[in-house]
Amino acid sequence: MPTSPELPSRRGVLRTAAAAGALGLTAHAATARAAAEIPAPALPGGLHPYRSPYLNWAGEIAHPGLWTCAPSDGQQIADLANWARAAGWRLRARGKAHTWSPLTITPGTDVDARVLLVDTTTHLTATELATPPAGVPGAVHAQTGVTLEALLGFLADHGLGVTNTPAPGELTLGGTLAIDAHGTSVPAEGEAARPGHTYGSLSNLVLELTAVVWDAASGRYVLRTFTRGADAACDVLAAHLGRGFVVEAVLQAGEESAMRCVSRVDVPADELFAAPGSEAAAGGCTFADFLATAGRVETIWFAFTDRPWLKVWSLSPQRPATSRPVTGPYNYPFSDSVPTVVSRLAGRLVADAAWYLAPELGALQYTVAASGLTATLSKDLWGASHHLMFYLRPTTLRETANGYAILTRRADVQRVISEFAGFYRERLAAWARNGRFPVNGQVEIRVGGLDQPVDVAVPGARPPLLSVVRPHQDHPEFDCAVWVDVLTLPGTPGAPEFYRELERFCLAAFDGGHALVRVEWSKGWGYTDTAAWADREVIHSVVPASFGTAQWAEGTRLLHELDPHGVFGNTFLDALLAP
């Protein structure tokens, strides 16, 4: 039976008024009206539909209740696909809805839309060890509804792990593969590549995928398994943006390792993001300096503050004497659970339209982080890598975010970060002088590797075709990506317009010279002055061009061949991925 949607709490201030309206007092009436207008679908194989609300991470894409079902195996999903084709419905895989973009459902989806959510998290969660390719320590066979926290915990129990993972452990494997989810890592100086690992996205670990696809010979949707290096379909399904349905995956894995994570809040932004060769960069505290030493760096730069929260992870087989050992994930409780003082101030911004308090909110968030690190003895941690890489719970501040990956040379990372940070800071100050405060969250900056085929232990492997960190054939010199996100509370006035300024700057500054920008699939992009995912030029021209004409054409063609009837899609994906 479906569970009831979670009750509002302090976290309620982190959702937009629009989302509250969608799921508030009118939700029951809207659901009842939908039920009257369209009866429960008669699903195949004894599957029972039920109404379930949909709410994405920031609450900006919401629906009061779509018909939903929870299949127990891949064959039931194939049966659903054949039913959907005949009945004129579309299927959308539903994991944890930890996304910002309209890849599952689109904003404004009709109450009575013929869209069936397919819950993968109830039954499709099995994991087992698989036979690894030669030279690789291990491999895992997993169903795509398993969470990353459960999957990496299973691997760790067998001495295995991965180099990159997103910070939230509650993401599903299927969701992370759909959008080539990433972490933050490049080789530190002197660090050798480790078998089974990749500095690229999780999608680059794929060895085999089982998906529901169209079979022209039988005229039906069927389950089919595709192998990396042998089947082009595997290359596109490894990052399919929701335009396919992967049921199971086999991933390679390397040896698990212990890591150290040191947090600092004393390095000024002027030094951390300094221009290469400048006086401020001479002190050895630039982002690139920390990257050279450890290879794994993240900065969280709260709005209108001058000292970011800097995290530096490093491989550390033995515990340093100053490090506190940890035995589980989520070791920053002051960040995972929103402190009352922060929720109250955020509530004032939203409820009272007191957006001018953005500088105070940024300063308060910095203070909470700085004092929390000291109070919880979290400045220097040591433990299993997956325990240190998972640090974001669903109870954290719910913000909207834009997102881009800027491909560049390792030698130009500091230049790219300095240029982005300089433009962001100048524009934020200019807006503030005019009494406008479009950002009240933070800037997050990470650096990761690209999806290099050499990391994959099968002959003939190619990078996932639509991975954001797929190497660009015209720029072999680009060997890493700077990931940038700017976060703000949903509904903040002027945010889309500000995001558009940042996007236009990135497109102009990182146009393929010393760097090339691509959009991050799960975040906000394609901005007009009023909305995300709405700029037709970005959707139809800029995004395809950033991948290269041939690669984009091959990827969209394969997705269409695997699902020519568009059962796995929505109107946004129809426009973005038109063959």
Return phi, psi of residue 234, to 5°. Answer: -65, -35
Among all chains, which residue has been given the structure tokens 């060890």? 129
Tokens representing 63 are: 């629906």
How far is residue 97 from each of residues 57, 174, 374, 382, measured CA to CA in Å? 6, 11, 33, 31
Q: Which residues contact 241 (CB under 8 A, 6 or more apart)?
A: 103, 178, 179, 466, 521, 573, 576, 577
Q: Which DSSP symbol is given to 47?
A: -
Residue in the structure block whose two tokens are 């109107």: 571
Neighbours of 436 (CB within 10 A): 17
CA separation for the pair 140, 118 (Å, rounded): 24
For residue 459, give the 3-state DSSP assignment: coil
Identify the active-site residue in 92, 182, 446, 500.
446
CA angle, corner 47, sides to 41 and 49, nearest 5?
45
Q: Cα 490 from chain centroid?
A: 17
Active-site residue, selected from the candidate residues 298, 399, 501, 503: 298
Other beta carbons within 10 angstroms of residue 425's beta carbon come to 17
Strands 127-130 and 138-143: antiparallel
Known catalytic residue at 446? yes
Give the integer Cα–Cα distance in Å for 248 and 352: 47
Length of the chain measured in residues: 579
HSE at residue 570, side-chain half, CA atoms within 13 A, is 21
Burial class (CB within 10 angstroms; exposed 0-12, middle 13-18, buried 19+) of 124: buried
Residue 98 known to be catalytic? yes
Of 98, 260, 264, 470, catalytic: 98
Determine which helix (DSSP H) or strand (DSSP E) holds 149, and give its type and residue range.
helix 148-157
User: Closest by alpha carbon to 54, among 115, 12, 145?
Assistant: 115
Coil/strand/helix, residue 259 = strand
Q: Rounded to 5 degrees, what angle do the CA atoms 446, 472, 513 make?
A: 75
Amino acid (1-letter code) at residue 575: A
- Among 446, 442, 272, smallest CA distance to 366 is for 442
Reference 335, options 377, 396, 400; nearest CA is: 396
Active-site residue (options: 256, 399, 444, 520): 444
Q: Catalytic site residues?
A: 98, 298, 444, 446
